[in-house]
Structure 1
Amino acid sequence: MFDTKIALVVRDDLENWQRLNVVAFLATGIVSAAPEVLGETYIDAANRHYSRLSGQPMLIFAGGLEDLQRTHRKGLERELTLVPYVQAMFATGNDADNRAVFLQEEANAMNLVGIALRGPKKAVDKVIKGLSLHP
């Protein structure tokens, strides 16, 4: 059905509010990188218009820090679109500070709490192999 696949991987040791927050931010990153995933405007029976939603499913997986770091490494190797979210970003209150703390992360050992990826279906499947869907 789709040539591409979108997967969001979130740490399994986060509080529920943190997981939901990370998933929301990751989804916006995917849509920013691939606006073509957006469907058409929704119109209700009273002809009111609503914003578009992704026309492609986003599968959500859970894993530990090592799983996310492995996903990051393999995603880079396969040149997939990646959207990382690091632990330090929970302590900031704006986008500029998020980018500043992100820049301070060790590039090959980020303290990831979430990562989204998009790319060719087979490549994404190889990168997320072994991960379980979020419960």
Structure 2
Amino acid sequence: MTTDLSTETSPTRFDTKIAVLLRDDLAPWQRLNVTAFLVSGVGTELPEVVGEPYEDADGTPYLPMFRQPVLVFEASGETLTAAHGRALTRALPRAVFTSDLFATGHDRDNRAAVRAVPGAALDLVGLAVYGPRNAVDKVLKGARMHP
């Protein structure tokens, strides 16, 4: 038996979670920029999180997007660093954005800036993580939903 999702009325509960954790002292433009960069890593490395392409009633095609919500959180730098450590311990897929990346202009320099610093010394301003809901919730301990 197949289910027509367009007529489904109950909310979908996913077994997995895509979450972005931002340092709470970022300017609004930085929050948006960091979030966009971080989720691009999740979507390109984990194709299972991307849905089907979109199309409007006129037949105009649009790019596919994530098949599930992206939850955005904020926390202090200390909480962000702790979350990074927990994501590593749990071996969850993750993307990082460091303060150094605000001064770079393209991907090559971004990667070089991260590569130049040991993991424990990264000045993290953002972290994206994907995995089972419970594991992601444990990584985000101490964070709050972004207002």
Q: TM-score range by the shorter chain?
A: over 0.9
**How many angstroms apart in 1 are the aligned matches of 2:110 and 2:20?**
19
Aligned to 1:101: 113
Q: How many positions carry a matched residue from both structures? A: 135
Aligned to 2:139: 127
Q: In the alignment, does 2:69 pair up with 1:57?
A: yes
TM-score scaled by structure 1?
0.96
Instruction: Report runs of 4+ in structure 1 exceeding 4 Å deviation.
Output: none
The runs of 5 or more residues in structure 1 that have no matched partner are none
TM-score scaled by structure 2?
0.88
Name the aligned partner's letter for residue 74 of structure 1: R
Name the aligned partner's letter for residue 82 of structure 1: R
Q: In the alignment, does 2:59 pair up with 1:47?
A: yes
RMSD in angstroms over aligned alpha carbons? 0.9
Larger Rg: 2
**C-alpha displacement at 1:59, in angstroms?**
0.4
Equivalent residue for 1:78, pick from 60, 84, 90: 90
Percent identity between the two aligned chains = 47
SS at match of 1:79: coil
The runs of 5 or more residues in structure 2 that have no matched partner are 1-12
Aligned to 2:4: none
**How many angstroms apart in 1 are the aligned matches of 2:40 and 2:64?**
13
The answer on whether the counterparts of 2:95 and 2:129 sit within 8 Å (CA) in structure 1 is: yes
